[in-house]
Structure 1
Amino acid sequence: MRRDELLDAAEDLLCDQGSTSLTLSAVADRAGVSKGGLLYHFGTKEALIKAMVERLIDDFDNLMAAQHDDTYTERYIGATLAALRSGRLRRWAVVTGASGNLYLLAPLREAMTRWHREELDEEPDRLASQIVRLACEGLWDVASHDPELNTESDLQALDARLRALAKPPA
């Protein structure tokens, strides 16, 4: 079984049953592999959680790279909305909730620092860009707890408004 399938099984288990259910045995059962098969890829529960966190970061970095907008903040808006539309944000909430260990969340803290500081000084309006990036974080947080809140029409309107806010005043 591939590593990503094991991570998918762990995330599904977290979504369905919560963080107290995340044991190596339960993940192996969910994935349909032996515990030894799981241990081959992830020797500890902490290694499994760390891999889930790292995959979330890579996933968002890939969404950022797929955007073709002019500014970093516009790419950040596009990547955030792509994550919202795909349902990927549910994974953020459950994975970060599963880790009570600051060491395991350190890569996420580092990524958040990078995402919120990247190219900020090159933006046409630094303060507006910072506000828009923080608004995207708010969208993430709310959507991770209430994924049905925004319709596609709502997301299109939010996209347009966030992009307009990121532009410098005339």
Structure 2
Amino acid sequence: MRRDELLDAAECLLDDQGVQGLTLAAVAERAGVSKGGLLYHFAGKEALIQGMIERLIADFDALVEAQDEPTYTRAYLAATFEAVESGRLRRWAVVTGAAGDHALLAPLREAMARWHTHGLDDEPDPPTSQVVRLACEGLWDVATHSPSVMDYAAVHRRLLELL
């Protein structure tokens, strides 16, 4: 059983049943492995949650990196909208909701600090770039909790105009 399959099973459980449904036994059952098979990859529930958070960060970093844009902010914006359109942002709410321990979210806080400061000196208008990056954060929140309340294409166009 591969690590990503176990993380997928955990995310599905979180989405279906919430934090109370995230048990090692339930993840193992959902993934079709023994609890020992799960424990081979993740020493416990905290390690499983850490794995999900680390994967979220790595996935978004890869998405930003894959964009063919002249500035980091434009790449960040494009990656955000790609994540919204593909449904990837659902994972954010699900996984961060599982991390009841503030310490488990430390890697995500560090990644967000990096995402909000990376390359600002290279941007044509750093304050506007920060506003666009912050707007992306709001977009993540709305897209995960109330996806039907906005015209994403119009918001995307307007944010691009700001840049």
Q: Which runs of 5+ in 2 are unaligned?
A: none
1:161 has 2:153 as partner: no
Alpha-carbon distance in structure 2 between the residues aligned to 1:111 and 1:62: 13
1:124 aligned partner: 124
1:106 aligned partner: 106
Counterparts of 1:1-170 in structure 2 under 5 Å? 1-150=1-150, 154-166=151-163
Alpha-carbon distance in structure 1 between the residues aligned to 2:19 and 2:94: 8
Alpha-carbon distance in structure 1 between the residues aligned to 2:149 and 2:40: 40
Give the share of equivalent positions with the same residue, in percent. Answer: 67
Q: Which runs of 5+ in 1 are unaligned?
A: none
Alpha-carbon distance in structure 1 between the residues aligned to 2:74 and 2:8: 29
Local SS of the residue matching 1:139? helix
TM-score w.r.t. the length of structure 1 is 0.93
Which amino acid in 1 is paired with 2:107? P
Alpha-carbon distance in structure 2 between the residues aligned to 1:103 and 1:72: 28
Shift of 1:147: 3.1
Deviations for 1:10-37, whole angstroms, at most 9, x for unmatched residues? 0000000001111100101111111111
Which amino acid in 1 is paired with 2:67? Q
May I ask how many residue pairs the two structures share in their alignment?
A: 163
TM-score w.r.t. the length of structure 2 is 0.96
Q: Tell me the C-alpha RMSD between the 2 structures.
A: 1.0
Deviations for 1:92-143, whole angstroms, at most 9, x for unmatched residues? 0010010111221111000000000001122111111111100010000011
Cα pair 1:87 1:147 within 8 Å, conserved: no
Alpha-carbon distance in structure 1 between the residues aligned to 2:147 and 2:81: 12
Shift of 1:156: 2.5
Which amino acid in 1 is paired with 2:113? T
